[in-house]
Structure 1
């Protein structure tokens, strides 16, 4: 039986955020707490920060605890890392955080967590077939779901398109760094999404990340075969998805 309450933690390059989650609705049941990500963001200091965040809440000992991480995780181990310290490569994240916090932890890729949250409670809820959720931020994260089941660690932001790593041309971070107009950025996104469509023939594309708050400025400029819609859970997607996946694993 799946628990009705979980706790999610979202680790980012600048902040570590966490909150309890109602697993029947996807709503946060308390205000989320945010602590700055340590600099340099090496494993032990980050683990200690996560432990401090968890200790700030009065949580039952058996509460499912999930944690997002900005890297692909295979058999609990970080394969490579882009937005935290390079010393994370090869680290068993479940083991590290379980030891630091003193309770079992389920660690998942951050974009995968966001995708699962959108499928369970947001823009992709009840959508059959192939759904691709992308998070546009410093890089481009992705989650691939088939009939609601996650296919983990897709990393579509690292597709090579026109001789470039996709996220180095089309992320929201690049838009800001190069001061691109919405039209200019949409042209780059168009190449990314049409390549993704060619490869996967999705039934739905969901666009998340902080910039999705301004979706009306760029989504109407894109021409995709599948419907392309903004994510609904926004900044809470990682927390919600992590808690949900932890509960599924425990169950």
Structure 2
């Protein structure tokens, strides 16, 4: 079996990719900032990165941060992968990075370009947003009594385990370039997704659909981050919510949400 390095291997996605590859008998190294023996900050690079890549055939690059540093991290990873003779670099990106002028998306697109031009064998998979991310967003938005969501914006959330399965399969195959996107099974308005979250968690909030301004909002409203023709995911948002929060009579009674806007 091959030796595979998973960057961000303790994160939501990377942890599942690691589990699947190990279950199939592969030797997997987990690289993250705080996990020994390969505790490396990719933004800084250094000798620890070279040691982590020694003898590695494939890298699955899941490490990423909306707070910045992805491009610098990719530069260090690519340079070290070249030195180590890595044959295959697999990268997880986001649907719409080439259509939505959002800062984090632009950074992900820049990393894609670096990988394509790296001289390494490469595979890039774009996925829509994970269910987990929407729940994190709604947890913040539902703190006030009035839950404000962007008007006329939809999303197409996907189950992170399905993305992990696809990445693990790509990692053990040959470099494939840009592969077809992986999107969730349903395109849903933010309003309806927020109401499903409120029902599942038993929170009582009015939901306000708030129009926003700017190019980024217009691109999201136009669906630049969606892939309805690639709705191959199986797990719906409601199924995810049921698994995470369960269902109860009390939650059903308490999860009322009025509409504003």
Whether TM-score is above 0.5 comes out as no
The structure in which a higher percent of residues are strand is 1
Which of 1 and 2 has greater Rg?
2
Provide the TM-score with structure 2 as the length reference. 0.34
Q: Name which structure has the greater RCO, CA cutoff 8 Å, separation 6+.
A: 1
